[in-house]
Amino acid sequence: MNPEQEQEVVDIFADGACKGNPGAGGWGALLRCGNSSKEIYGGQANTTNNRMELTAVIRALEALKRASCVRVHTDSQYVQKGISVWIHDWKRRGWKTADKKPVKNAELWRELDELAAQHQIDWIWVKGHAGHPGNERADALANLGVIAGRNATDASDMPL
């Protein structure tokens, strides 16, 4: 890509939270590009932490209006390794694990895989609860989502 065609990079900080596992869950994401930013969050009444981690990234990618260069920052090794390493074998095995069991959350992995194919993405793992500002904000948004989840509503795109 020559410099005239370079796109700005969209940084996505995504996180999930769950009070009880399963229990009330929330997801949150902070999207930044240049001087612009957007915060989104939502929740579910009865879910798992891994489902919320995946949902945070899915909803963030859905919020992009066009194919983009993206850096997804997540504190979930399940998400980071799942989408960049494990998914290839799952797909090859027909969405089965190495021990021939169905992949958990396969419908979310398929959705994430389809969305990720529309963008150029670097998957970056960050240590959670370690003071990283983007990750801390995504965590706070996910916890707002837990409140929405307890009320069995989806607070996606609610004004903050």
Which residues are marked as active site?
Answer: 15-16, 53, 75, 129, 139
Quote the tokens at residue 2. 């020559």
| Sign of the C-alpha dihedral computed for residues 3, 66, 75 and 128 taken in this order | positive
In the structure, how many helices (H) and strands (E) does the chain have? 5, 5
Question: From CA 146, how far away is CA 71, in angstroms rounded?
Answer: 25
CA-based nearest residue to 116, from 148, 83, 91, 149: 83
Exposed e or buried b for every residue in 71-102, given b needs 16+ CB within 10 A?
bbbbbbebbbebbeeebeebeeeeeeeeeeee
Question: From CA 145, how far away is CA 32, in angstroms rounded?
Answer: 20
- Provide the 8-state DSSP code for 75: S
